Structure 1
Amino acid sequence: MSTDLARRAKRVAEVAALHADAVDREGRFPAEAVAALKTERLLGLQVPTQYGGEGAGLAQIAEVCCTLGQACSASAMVFAMHHIKLASLVTHGLTSDWHCGLMAKVANEQLLIASSTTEAGIGGDLRNSLCAVEAEGELFNLGKDASVISYGSQSDVILVTARRNPEAPTSDQVLVALMRDQMSLSRTSTWDTLGMRGTCSEGFRLEAKGVPTVQILPKPFAEIAAQSMLASSHLLWSSVWFGIATYAVDRARSFVQGEARRRPGTVPPSALRLAEAASALQAMKATVLGGLRRYEGAQHEPDELSSLGFAVSLNNVKTTSSNMAVDIVQKSLGIVGIAGYRNDTPFSLGRPLRDVMSAPLMIANDRILSNTANLLLVQKGGGQLLSA
């Protein structure tokens, strides 16, 4: 990450950290952190330079996710989810004048993008939809019972999955970009959770009428999911979780160092546990970096991005990093002890622990492992250890 980008990310993280406890306690949107993201022009990072962005790659976005994850998990996750959807526009919208115009607006006006892929009756299976685009000439209508739209009420744009038409099978999907003034959202459920409370992932009935068909992305959603959403979601989420785990290990390190200063000449018993946590954190970092390198090597190769091997590799990054993050934060809590369990000490790890517990659940690791198992049944064997 460039020095300039690192400074901008750090300034946002400082704002996010100031309000993280209030965001968690009140279950509210991290408005201050998102305002800082806009001030620092970080919502348009990925947009190509010809449309007013900075053309940043996924690795740079991941670094920002990690920095924010150390300050406020919810703020980091909002940033990550925004860029996951923006990745779909950048990767698959360049052949559409309308979507290129949308990218320019995102960069110039710092618009916040949300996602509507889950649906009542379908659950978390983003590769199936019940709702459908109902086209009438050059306009369409769309109604969706969206069981979750994270920060839907605060977004400027929502990318929505739907069947191509009412006669299409549930797996024949398109991705539609809807502007705030083109839709209505009626809340159907609230978001009262253990952690990640600031993502405000409420349920809505979404209605859009008379929307121009040019706002439908030209590529089938099956291609978009395989070639951009899979990698960007698994890698950016994992970067957020790495940030949370890093914060926890830093708290544990500070605690053990304090113990050592109080007893000069002795090594605190907890130092061994700290070494284990630091080792696990390093292994998690290697997992995420390996996934980023795999993506960077394949990002201009559509066949590779759609391959079984790539899908298995990125699925493994998500399941591995999410489990490791939980384990690392729990290890750190064990090191700090009651000072980490309490909410009123400098070493408190209650909020990071509750937030990181969401990692194996979004999307559920069991669902991903089931998908990986199906892929392995048809994947050919082979491969070299150092080039896998």
Structure 2
Amino acid sequence: MTASVESLPSSTDALATLHRVIDDVIRPQAETVDRSGTFPREGVDALAAAGLLGLASSTEVGGGGQGMRVVADVIERLAAECGSTAMVVLMHHAATAVVEAHGPREVRAAIAAGGHLTTLAFSEFGSRSHFWSPTGTATAAGDDTVRLDARKSWVTAAGEADSYVWSSLPLSPGAGPMTLWLVPADSAGLAVAGDFDGLGLRGNGSRPMTADGLLVPTEAMLATDGAGLDTALTVVLPWFLVLNSAFCLGLADSAVAEAGRHLTGTTLTHTGAALRDAPVARRDFAQLKIRTDALRAFLGDTLTALETGRDDATLRVLQVKALAGETVADVTDGAMRLCGGSAFRRELGLERRFRDSRAARVMAPTTDALHDFVGRVATGLPLLDEANR
């Protein structure tokens, strides 16, 4: 991936820059990306050139130095226009958090400059959505070299990213439950192992990948051997869950806005009344609006909890994606019903948002897993029992 960063946006102009990219590139191509299942390369490159892929990178390496709140706002606005593009950028920022914490300076600088797209490679065929239980192996191959072997089931931007934050069993048995590696995309033995023809997020490139005798230097290890689960829980999980919630909010908010336009702009010829004149329609619309605004408030509180180090920050992070996944599924479904047959036409954009919203419930950690996590934390139990660590 190559890009020339125009200028890294500050917190005050990042959204103005984003709106320009959305207007010029992302919105015009959203329907085509969805219909064809094509990776949104032009949109991703435009975001990179605008400095938005390096938004959270440290200023020390030339990045924007922005926090999670600004990035969440970017993801929300992208999701309102193109879910596939938003998911690619979401996974990039979740992986960037690890690279910023433990990766080499040259890769950090490349991300900051908009010349490097990264992503997470956690889910595996053997453990599915239980990302905390890898089955892929890491074995010493001599001369400070490590061999990685794995079958990854879902990797966003597979074959499109420049690197993968890769999970495996530890290099040394007993070192810990998981180790993370930074795997370059051009590594021999790394391959995309299938296509993606999904219900929604059709352009996000979530495809299986395999590592078959993939060799990386020992220094490709991120953090220490066996510390990957702690890194995943303390670094990756907050970024992923919060940004995923912002993604859901963007979809829900745009669905409510479209439903509102339909109710106010559609008139029944035989009565002369707009759809909004019906009390039942107004009630149903109000319920969608209230649920979306409630999610926005909860997401804002979660970000505040993280920023201020509140005692309930971990609980809020776990709760927010569970809330967001159910909210966006229900709100997009309700918007489809409010708009009736019109919602089934592609040009309204509601059916695309409806399909894209289905991913939140099943994307690891799934809603069911999050409910268990919330129950564990809220009753004083550890997030994962020892069998899963």
* TM-score between both structures, scaled by the size of structure 1: 0.87
Change (3 A) 1:89 1:332: same
Gapped regions of structure 1 (runs ≥ 5) = 381-388
Structure 1 residues 278-357: aligned runs within 5 Å: 278-298=289-309, 309-344=312-347, 347-357=348-358
Tell me, yes or no, if the aligned pair for 1:13 and 1:72 is still in contact at 8 Å. no
Deviations 1:302-348 (A, max 9, x none): xx6xxxx543321111111110111111222222211112224xx34
In structure 1, give the amino acid aligned to 2:380: V
1:175 aligns with 2:177: no
Q: How big is the shift at 1:36?
A: 1.2
Q: 1:207 to 1:102 in 2, by over 3 A?
A: farther
Offset, 1:33:
1.1
For 1:351 and 1:318, how far apart are their aligned partners in 2? 21
**1:27 alignment partner in structure 2:** 37
Q: 1:164 to 1:250 in 2, by over 3 A?
A: same
Give the letter aligned to residue 279 of structure 1.
I
Q: Give the match for residue 375 of structure 1.
A: 377
Q: Which moved more, 1:145-154 or 1:187-196?
A: 187-196
Give a deviation string over 1:140-174, Cα, whole Å, max 9, x none: 221211111111100101110112226347x5211
Alignment of 1:67 onto 2:68: no
Task: Write the letter of the residue equivalent to 1:293.
Answer: T
Aligned-pair CA distance for 1:235: 0.5
Q: Larger helix proportion, structure 1 or 2?
A: 1
* 8 Å contact from structure 1 (residues 119, 130) kept in 2: yes
* Candidates 60, 76, 89, aligned match of 1:79: 89
Give the drift of 1:176.
0.5
> Once the 2 structures are TM-superposed, how far is the Cα of residue 3 of structure 1 from its aligned partner?
3.8
Distance in 2, Cα, partners of 1:229 & 1:109: 21
Please give the secondary structure, in 1, of the residue aligned with 2:54: coil
Checking the alignment, whether the CA contact within 8 Å between 2:11 and 2:66 is kept in structure 1 is no
Aligned to 2:3: none
Q: Call closer, same or farther: CA 1:122–1:5 in 2, change over 3 Å.
A: same
Map 1:33-44 → 2, pairs under 5 A? 33-44=43-54
**Any idea what SS the aligned residue of 1:165 has?**
coil
Give every structure 1 segment of 4 or more consecutive aligned residues whose post-TM-superposition deviation is greater than 6 Å: none
Question: For the residues of structure 2 that align with 1:38 and 1:56, how far apart are their CA atoms?
Answer: 15
Structure 2 residue runs of 5 or longer lacking an equivalent are 1-9, 383-389
Aligned length: 364
Please report how far the alpha carbon of residue 377 of structure 1 lies from its aligned counterpart in structure 2 after TM superposition.
4.3
2:89 partner letter:
F
Which residue of 194, 197, 204 corresponds with 1:199?
A: 204
Residues 181, 221 of structure 2: 8 Å contact kept = yes
Letter in 2 for 1:23: V
CA contact (8 A) 2:69 2:303 kept: yes
- Matched to 1:289, the amino acid is G
- Please tell me the root mean square deviation across aligned C-alpha atoms, in Å: 2.3
